[in-house]
Structure 1
Amino acid sequence: MPYDTELPRPFVRSRDRRMLAGVCGAVAEYFDIDVNIVRVATLAAAFASFGTVALIYLAAWMLVPEA
């Protein structure tokens, strides 16, 4: 889906690249990177932060609209 370069791209949860809630897929689509890299980084960050990133993921699941 082409976007106008003058307007910021919307940040919405992914329907296509979803495994659980589509948050990692949304990050991958927004930054145009592989979704598996985002998933591994999220999992590693969740363990390294003792669950803080997992709470941020849950908050994004509730707050970010679905595409």
Structure 2
Amino acid sequence: MKKKLYRSSKNKMVSGVIGGIAEYFNVDATILRLIFVVALPFTAFFPLVFVYIAAAIIMPIDNGVS
């Protein structure tokens, strides 16, 4: 079965982008969220936030069917 990247509808805090990435790579979403928050000041804030917003718009949301 081919894996696809979706925004998570179960594991989400804001829009499900990081939850979906965590499910895709089979890692804990909390770790990815911490990495995201720690990386914000080092990316001058706007580039990383822009990537997150773009991913939230582009990535389809999963339909809950495995």
TM-score by length of 1: 0.85
4+ aligned runs moved over 2 Å, structure 1:
none
**Please, which runs of 5 or more residues in structure 2 have no aligned partner?**
none
Provide the rounded CA distance (Å) in 2 between the counterparts of 1:47 and 1:21. 21
Deviations along 1:12-55, one digit per CA (max 9) or x if unpaired, are 00011100000000110000000000001111122210121111
Q: Please point out which of 49, 54, 57 is paired with 1:62.
A: 57
Amino acid at match of 2:5: F
Question: Which residue in 1 is equivalent to 2:14?
Answer: 20
1:34 equivalent in structure 2: 28
SS state at 1:18 partner: coil
Residue equivalent to 1:45: 39
RMSD over aligned Cα atoms: 0.8
Query: Unpaired runs of 5+ in structure 1?
Result: none
Report the residue type matching 1:32 in the other structure.
N
Q: Secondary structure at the match of 1:19?
A: coil
Q: Percent identity?
A: 30
